[in-house]
Amino acid sequence: MQTNFGKAIILATLAMTLVVLSNGTAMAQDGKALYEAKLCNSCHGPEGKAPVMPMYPKLAGQNAAYLEQQVKDIRDKKRTNGQTATMQALVATVTDAENKAISAYLATVK
């Protein structure tokens, strides 16, 4: 017969396992909200599929690590070509964690 303490440990372990397994999905879901909150959609379109100008890249389905690095390079002024001057102001306040979440989300969009 299990004690209440034993049941609590089993439930806590199960809950932690579910959190770990769903972390990628949760991050992508948070990334979707951040994509909109940080106004990425104003230039790259809904879900990164339909940029408002032909010169802006489609972001949907891109490799997450690549997207994350591009934002870092633009934010840190290591990349200065194309439309990066406009992007620098927008990504200046994007944290590494937010960047990771947004990039993970965009990588899942088909």
> What CA–CA distances, in Å, run from 74 to 48, 68, 86, 97?
18, 10, 10, 16
- So what's the pLDDT on residue 7? 63
Q: pLDDT value at position 23?
A: 45
Output the CA torsion sign for 29, 90, 66, 106: positive
In this prediction, residue 82 has a pLDDT band, given cuts at 50, 70 and 90, of confident
Which pLDDT score, from 0 to 100, does residue 18 have? 41
Which residue is listed with tokens 């990334």? 31
Give residue-wise pLDDT tens across range 28-39: 679 999 999 999
CA distance 60 to 2: 49
For the segment(s) 25-108, the CATH number from 3.30.450.20, 2.60.40.10, 3.40.50.2300, 1.10.760.10 is 1.10.760.10
pLDDT of residue 24: 46
Under a CB-based contact definition with an 8 Å cutoff, are residues 105 and 48 in contact? Answer: no
What confidence tens digit (pLDDT) does each residue in 44-78 have? 999 999 999 999 999 999 999 999 999 999 999 99
Supply the pLDDT for residue 34. Answer: 96
pLDDT, greater one: 108 or 86: 108
Q: Give CA–CA dist 55/51, Å, rounded.
A: 8
Residue found by looking up tokens 């599929």 in the block: 49
- Name the band, by pLDDT with cuts 50, 70 and 90, for residue 99: very high
